[in-house]
Chain A
Amino acid sequence: MEADLRLIARIGAGDRAAFAELFQGYAPRLLGFLRSRGVESEQAEEIVQEVLLSVWRNAASFDPTRASLSTWIFTIARNRMIDRARRAAHAVPDPHDPLFQADTTLAADDAAEAAQRAVRVREAVAALPEDQRRVIERGHLGGLTLAAIALEECVPLGTVKTRARLAVERLRRVLAPRRES
């Protein structure tokens, strides 16, 4: 975590050795992730390159108080996969949109607090009941829709939707402030 932050700061300053080090840390796991989501080898290798090139180009704008480096890399990889599958850009909010509503939650105060958040995420996922954790893991890692998970587990779609809702409610309680409604 701290090592990640030191690396990304050096990469932001244009340090190629730091980039190579980050590549060696993340590329093998990223490749494993893409393969588990069913991306073919050649395309997976191309996406690994694109994702890490995106990290290189945007390192200076990375904000560690908002998300961890692995979370940032996960979202870039997810968006690239969708872009390729749909041949159109994955829709994401634009912070420069005049209609963009400012954040109401506080960012982490510093890197130490950000690191604690990573620990909380790990604990929160581990604490989920088995059937809810499978919805998270099969979706995040396997890229399965809830309908596909229902087929895989031979249960009605409504059951999987309920597990998804319960999992999100539990994770939300631990990781994000509750909605007022």
Chain B
Amino acid sequence: MARLPAHHPPEDLLLAYAQGTCSEGESLLMAAHLTLCPTCRAEVGALEAVGGQLLAEEEAAAMPEGLLEATLSRLDQPTRAPVPVPPPDLAGLERVPRPILARIPAGARWRRILPGVEVIDLGVRQGTEEVRLARLAPGFTLPHHTHEGLERTLVFDGIFADDTLRLEDGDVGVRDDTVRHTQRVIGPTPCVCLVVNDAPLVPLTWLGRFARRLGLA
């Protein structure tokens, strides 16, 4: 079994997930992290308990006529059993939890967008948010870049690090536009990670800008 995560989502994201107010990409990242992190699961559980308490204290609304009877008449309805979806037949997903696997579009393939970078787009379209699984080759270095808005990364497999943060085994890293950094894959294992961007990243080198202009990144 992998080690437990050491880098956790920020508190405002734990709260937004418990309250049900986070974006779709954030909820995917949270569901994946909560699969791997019992500590954060307990904390989200505590924040949900706050919701339960507030619900218990909620003022009773006037009940529309017949709602109880309508519900009682549905008690014997057969439930639709969830149709089991076979996991996608793709390499590199051994350490990717189910909530993410379930969102890989049918027939998706790893798509190479740069030397050493393959991605699967998870098809989440909410505003400018981009949600992708990425597989980065050993030794890959993401050139100096910054972000418009927030970038959140959850590493499932391999190690992805910059000067101050080393991410592996379910760790979550959050970077905003105040951070300019170079990230690289450490060790012999390709790095498989979930990347949730508010907006596309901004390369700071001419090579990165060139790649961007060609529509590669």
In Å, the complex CA distance between A41 and B31 comes to 30
Chain B 114-144 per-residue mask, 1 if CB under 8 angstroms from chain A, else 0: 0000000000000000000000000000000
The verdict on B182 contacting chain A, using a C-beta distance below 8 Å, is no
- Measured CB to CB, the nearest residue on chain B to A172 is B43
Q: Which residues on the B side are within 8 Å of A143 (C-beta)?
A: 19-21
Q: Give the interface SS of chain B, mostly helix, strand, loop or mixed.
A: helix
**How far, in Å, is B145 (CB) from chain A's closest CB?**
23
| Contact among A93, A97, A137, A175 for B49, CB-based, below 8 A | A175
Closest residue of chain A to B29 (Cβ to Cβ) is A91
Given contacts A16-B72, A68-B52, A72-B52, whether A168 and B20 have CB atoms under 8 Å apart is: no
Please measure, in the bound complex, the distance between the C-alpha atom of A36 and the C-alpha atom of B27, giving whole angstroms: 22
Q: How far is the CA of A165 from the CA of B16 in the complex (A)?
A: 11
Given B38, B49, B96, which contacts A105 in the complex, CB threshold below 8 Å? B38
Residues of A within 8 A of B22 (CB): 145
Contact between chains at B52 and A93 (CB < 8 Å): no
Q: Is residue B42 within 8 Å, beta carbon to beta carbon, of the partner chain? A: yes
| A74 B35 Cβ-Cβ under 8 A | no
Contact of A5 with B by CB under 8 A: no
Indicate with 1 or 0, residue by residue over B25-52, a CB within 8 angstroms of chain A CB atoms.
0011011101111110111011111111
How close is A3's CB to chain B, nearest CB, in angstroms? 12
Interface residues of A, Cβ cutoff 8 Å to B: 16, 19-20, 23-24, 27-33, 35-36, 45, 48-49, 52-53, 56-57, 66-75, 77-79, 81-82, 86, 88-94, 97, 99-105, 117-118, 121-122, 124-125, 135-137, 139-141, 143-146, 161, 164-165, 167-169, 171-172, 175-177, 179-181
Residues of chain B at the chain A interface (Cβ within 8 Å): 1, 4, 6-8, 10-12, 14-16, 18-22, 24, 27-28, 30-32, 34-39, 41-43, 45-56, 58-64, 67-68, 70-72, 74-75, 77, 79, 95-99, 102-103, 170
**What would be 6 A-B contacts, judged by CB atoms less than 8 Å apart?**
A45-B64, A67-B48, A70-B56, A71-B48, A97-B35, A104-B4
Q: Given A71-B51, A94-B35, list of 16 further CB < 8 A pairs?
A: A69-B52, A74-B52, A78-B20, A78-B51, A82-B20, A93-B97, A99-B35, A99-B36, A99-B96, A105-B38, A105-B39, A118-B56, A141-B54, A165-B11, A165-B12, A167-B15
